[in-house]
């Protein structure tokens, strides 16, 4: 890595992680050339400071001349002799070494060399070559055993019954443990939240395939990306949904690299109740919906959560599963089938006047509102999205047209970038469809889950009011 890059906090998260796990087959090379993109770095060529920092993180550390091939080879050999410690090589280098007026000079980063100067420089470099031997590195030995991670399927249906009360975060932990029994290439990472995300269930049943990453979410995602390389493992990483915002850069780079990782964010929205507002994830849908080719699952009960886990395990690209803290009723039977991009119409009649769309905790508020409205002779159609991305536009448009063109979206999320925005995009070419949104406005607060849902306007009471308002107008 470059010395400028080494200022990133995620680098030191990785150094601490590697030291903790005694990764003695790992070598980190620091290219210390003292120059950044636009000037000089704070430490410049203070090699002893880099060395002391790495040693303080528990690394076996060497300092060498980065232009001395023999010295570098000696360090790499020494690294193979060290046990229970990773090795850091602090290599002193100079940008543009031996090139007149360029060596160790500022403002050359990323700039093309004029053609006439480039020709002269190439000749200068060629004149310094002291051998005619054509150096060709040996091809790495491919001695890893073949594995198959494509044969993922649910061999037995979920064990839940309609009416059971289970938090989707717990159902997710149970589903991961079940998946681990069905496929030995499944691994799970967590960032010190395993007793809240319930990934501890996986750890208990598959301890050798669980990786604790501590409170270092950027590094956790980076480790997940590394584990997914070469399609040798099925990787899940779980934490509070709010904490994944810290790792957005790693997530987007993972998508650009066409990596296959599955991320689970629990404790989303104000519905987490009595907890500090900073942990109420209200922007996660917006964040993940911007990731190219990302599948965004938002299951509403234990059965759909188990299906989300198994579908994510067998899907290429980045997958995100948004789970809920409070316990909610199971609404689907054991034999209900699910597919990515297919919503569920779970309540309908010929007399429906409005289509109301929910997901996760808000679906249960929608169902409560539908029951109250039906007692008053008002009927609504209820849709469970299951996946926010890809969105089931066909189902949404067809049902909206059947209910007078009226849609209400209800989400435990900020207004921007969530369910409403996805639905509006889907119906944007349909002139006779109107979308009304109920979402969390303003800054979250501490309180009881039901109180907060009502305070921020996404409870059954507010859904009833929104439906009546539409029908009155």
Catalytic machinery residues: 217
Please state the three-class secondary structure of 211-269 as a single string.
Answer: EECCCCHHHHHHHHHHHHHHHCCEEEEEEEHHHHHHHHHHHHHHHHCCCCEEEEEECEC
d(CA 157, CA 166): 16
> How far is 209 from 357, CA to CA, in rounded Å?
38
Phi and psi of 204, rounded to 5°? -65, -40
263 φ, ψ (degrees, to nearest 5): -115, 140
C-alpha–C-alpha distance, residues 323 and 169, integer Å:
5
Q: Are the C-beta atoms of 85 and 104 separated by less than 8 Å?
A: no
Cα–Cα distance, 197 to 172 (Å, whole number): 8
Q: What SS3 string covers the chain?
A: CECCHHHCHHHHHHHHHHHHCCCCCCEEEEEECCECCCCECCCCCCHHHHHHHHHHCCCEEEEEECCCHHHHHHHHHHHHHCCCCCEEEEEECCCCCCCCCCCCCCCCCCCCCCHHHHHHHHHHHHHCCCCCCCCCCCCCCCCCCCCCCCCCCCCCCCCCCCCCEEEHHHHHHHHHHHHHHHCCCEEEEECCCHHHHCCHHHHHHCHHHEEECCCCHHHHHHHHHHHHHHHCCEEEEEEEHHHHHHHHHHHHHHHHCCCCEEEEEECECHHHCCCCHHHCECCHHHHHHCCCCCEEEECCCHHHHHHHHHHHHCCCCEEEEECCCCEEECCCCCCCCCCCCCCEEEECCCCCCEEEEECCHHHHHHHHHHHHHHHCCCCEEEEECEEEECCCHHHHHHHHHHCCCEEEEECCCCCCCCHHHHHHHHCCCCCCCEEEEECCCCCCCCCCHHHHHHHCCCCHHHHHHHHHHHHHC
Place of tokens 């938090």: 167
């Amino acid at each position: 890595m470059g010395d400028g890059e080494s200022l990133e906090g995620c680098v030191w998260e990785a150094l601490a992680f590697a030291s903790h796990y005694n990764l003695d087959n790992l070598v980190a090379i620091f290219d210390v050339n003292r120059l950044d993109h636009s000037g000089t770095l704070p430490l410049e060529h203070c090699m002893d400071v880099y060395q002391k920092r790495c040693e303080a993180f528990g690394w076996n550390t060497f300092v060498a001349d980065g232009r001395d091939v023999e010295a570098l080879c000696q360090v790499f050999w020494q690294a193979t002799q060290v046990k229970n410690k990773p090795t850091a090589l602090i290599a002193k280098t100079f940008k543009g070494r031996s090139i007149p007026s360029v060596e160790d000079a500022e403002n050359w980063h990323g700039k093309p060399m004029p053609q006439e100067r480039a020709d002269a420089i190439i000749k200068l470099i060629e004149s310094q070559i002291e051998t005619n031997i054509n150096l060709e590195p040996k091809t790495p030995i491919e001695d890893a055993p073949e594995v198959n991670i494509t044969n993922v399927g649910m061999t037995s249906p979920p064990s839940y019954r309609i009416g059971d009360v289970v938090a989707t975060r717990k159902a997710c932990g149970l589903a991961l443990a079940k998946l681990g029994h069905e496929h030995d290439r499944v691994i799970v990472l967590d960032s010190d939240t395993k007793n809240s995300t319930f990934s501890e269930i996986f750890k208990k049943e598959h301890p050798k395939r669980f990786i604790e990453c501590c409170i270092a979410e950027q590094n956790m995602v980076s480790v997940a990306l590394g584990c997914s390389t070469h399609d040798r493992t099925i990787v899940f990483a779980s934490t509070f949904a709010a904490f994944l915002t810290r790792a957005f850069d790693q997530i987007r780079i993972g998508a650009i690299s066409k990596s296959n990782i599955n991320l689970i964010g629990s404790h989303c929205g104000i519905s987490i109740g009595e907890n500090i507002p900073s942990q109420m994830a209200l922007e996660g849908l917006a964040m993940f919906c911007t990731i190219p080719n990302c599948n965004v699952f938002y299951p509403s009960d234990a059965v759909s959560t188990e299906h989300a886990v198994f579908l994510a395990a067998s899907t290429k690209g980045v997958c995100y599963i948004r789970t809920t803290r409070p316990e909610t009723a199971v609404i689907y039977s054991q034999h209900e089938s699910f597919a990515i991009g297919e919503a569920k119409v779970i309540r309908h009649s010929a007399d429906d006047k409005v289509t109301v769309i929910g997901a996760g905790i808000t679906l249960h508020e929608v169902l409560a509102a539908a029951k109250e409205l039906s007692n008053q002779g008002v009927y609504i159609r209820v849709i469970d999205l299951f996946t926010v991305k890809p969105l089931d536009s066909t189902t949404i448009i067809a049902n909206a047209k059947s209910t007078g063109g009226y849609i209400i979206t209800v989400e435990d999320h900020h207004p921007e970038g969530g369910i409403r925005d996805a639905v509006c995009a889907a119906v944007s070419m349909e002139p006779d469809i109107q979308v009304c949104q109920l979402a969390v406005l303003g800054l979250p607060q501490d309180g009881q889950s039901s109180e907060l849902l009502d305070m921020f306007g996404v409870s059954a009471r507010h859904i009833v009011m929104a439906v009546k308002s539409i029908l009155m107008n």
